[in-house]
Structure 1
């Protein structure tokens, strides 16, 4: 089932997610619905707060990035079959050089900006079967994971922009929260909710 994606301005996007256990209600259908929602919106990642749930879960499918001809063959192979669910994730370390990459977000449609992040991270998490993992990622994969991880910490990529960029985007962000935007996927707008 395709779920509506919560738009910028909704308080759920600012909450630090709570941990869940394997008895979380309807977890497997929630995961299926999140995959379906993400693919329908042409995303490569989706976090539970983006569908209105303040829990520590997100998913990443980096396959669309594997077609990028600017990447090395090793990088393309790393991205090609990378599809994971991250539950109760904790970034243990971020290292390496900082680099800028143009990011967007399904909760903030039509806004893309360069965000600076470190290029390597080590993360611990549980998969959908509640098996524990501790893994290190770098490059584009680390970037996507960092972006989705921020969601379960109540952080948006726009928070990482300069104060000038934030001021320039203020009107566009306000319009998104009011639903004054055209998107080709289902969304829930916080300002429209208040108006009813």
Structure 2
């Protein structure tokens, strides 16, 4: 399920952000609460997941020309409350029209049932969101990272084995 702060008047449905079609997009407009203006899009995973990485694609049309300075956070509850959010990534740069940006959660993976993309003082325009996550539980993943790889730190888990100096999360299943 996807929820948004407020859809723009001519916007497609929020599900356009996860329809595997870069030609469709959702425009989420700002709301104001106690003199703070922001827009947000929330994705309910349906269960608690550990998020490692997120890819976001901007719209190809001019409507996406100002997409920048947004945060991706994860929370167990849907409420947009900065006290209960675990930050995955803060993207500051401009996202070029039609381009995709990939963001590994920093400093490391975050867990929750809801992922929230939030932007202060501007609309969110999103063509596509891809989330790389797993269900992780301690009873299935009880391992010692130092025994796995001395250079591997928990803050640098990744599913991309070509990255130097990171742990390949696919290999963690071997423990």
Output the TM-score relative to the length of structure 2: 0.27
Output the TM-score relative to the length of structure 1: 0.25
More strand by share: 2
More helix by share: 1
